[in-house]
């Protein structure tokens, strides 16, 4: 069973490979993601984050979900020397850099509570895999060529890890260096990260991209992260452990 729907402003694909897979599992995930969007979307005036940015909601009244996301953001900011920051240059808070990976991780947990063991969940390049695919084989994820989107440059076998890609190919220049917000990030066009789950992969793919060419070195120093970086000249560099995950 495979289904793609628009949610949280992006296409999200769920593929269930268990023989007993039911549509109810898919509906539950998309229902949950709709709730996340209603709370965290900066494009909705009635969302909690919009209310916070307007000053309508005091910190004491933040939801538990909002507090959790802000805590994750602060921790990642500290661990990346400030290269991950949910505060925009204009001062507004935009937690979307946390929310996508966080929501997908929670959605995967929801699939498991519905009895699903073998599945793939893809939110615009941030991907969770579990178990095997419908053919009983390892899930294989393609890294797209940022200069030719229809071309796959590497096939990755996550082996249960979360995978996330940050770059400019799909959404344009939406990531900035918090230390130099006025400078465009042009040295690197794509960073793919493997981590213990999709949340961690998403957070550090964003931070590594903001670091530019130094991002791959940062990833290489972390024993819990693996990365694959493509620069503006089309030259790819990977961390030492990434090789174990590619075809």
Q: Give tens-digit pLDDT for 165-187.
A: 998 655 545 677 787 777 777 79
The fraction of the chain above a pLDDT of 90, given in percent, is: 89
* pLDDT for res 166: 92
d(CA 166, CA 187): 13
pLDDT in tens, 193-209: 999 999 999 999 999 99
- The residue whose two tokens read 């957070």 is 203
Query: What would the mean pLDDT of 34-51 be, rounded to a whole number?
Result: 98
d(CA 12, CA 7): 7
d(CA 116, CA 99): 23
* pLDDT for res 149: 86
Residue 11 has pLDDT above 80, yes or no: yes
* pLDDT for res 186: 78
Query: What would the mean pLDDT of 123-140 be, rounded to a whole number?
Result: 96
Residue 64 has pLDDT above 90, yes or no: yes
How many structural domains does the chain have?
1
Query: What would the mean pLDDT of 210-222 be, rounded to a whole number?
Result: 95
- Residue 197: which domain range? 2-245
- Alpha-carbon distances of 222 from 94, 147, 219, rounded to whole Å: 26, 28, 5
pTM of the entire structure? Answer: 0.94
CA 135: distance to chain centroid?
A: 26
Residue 13 has pLDDT above 90, yes or no: yes
CATH number at residue 212: 3.10.520.10
């Amino acid at each position: 069973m495979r289904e793609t729907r628009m949610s949280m402003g992006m296409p999200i694909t769920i593929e269930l490979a268990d023989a007993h897979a039911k549509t109810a599992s898919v509906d539950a995930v998309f229902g949950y993601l709709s709730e996340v969007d209603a709370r965290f979307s900066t494009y909705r005036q009635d969302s909690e984050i919009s209310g916070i940015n307007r000053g309508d909601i005091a910190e004491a009244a933040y939801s538990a979900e909002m507090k959790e996301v802000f805590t994750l953001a602060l921790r990642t900011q500290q661990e990346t020397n400030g290269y991950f920051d949910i505060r925009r240059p204009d001062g507004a808070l935009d937690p979307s850099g946390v929310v996508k990976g966080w929501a997908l991780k929670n959605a995967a947990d929801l699939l498991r509570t519905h009895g699903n063991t073998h599945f793939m969940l893809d939110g615009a390049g941030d991907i969770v895999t579990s178990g095997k695919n419908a053919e009983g084989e390892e899930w294989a994820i393609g890294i797209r060529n940022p200069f030719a989107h229809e071309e796959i440059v590497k096939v990755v076998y996550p082996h249960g890890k979360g995978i996330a890609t940050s770059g400019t190919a799909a959404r344009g220049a939406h990531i900035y260096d918090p230390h130099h917000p006025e400078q465009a990030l042009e040295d690197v066009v794509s960073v793919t990260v493997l981590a213990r789950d999709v949340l961690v992969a998403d957070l550090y793919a964003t931070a590594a991209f903001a670091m530019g060419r130094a991002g791959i070195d940062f990833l290489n120093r972390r024993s819990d992260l693996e990365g694959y970086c493509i620069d503006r000249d089309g030259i790819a560099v990977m961390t030492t452990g990434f090789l174990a995950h590619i075809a």
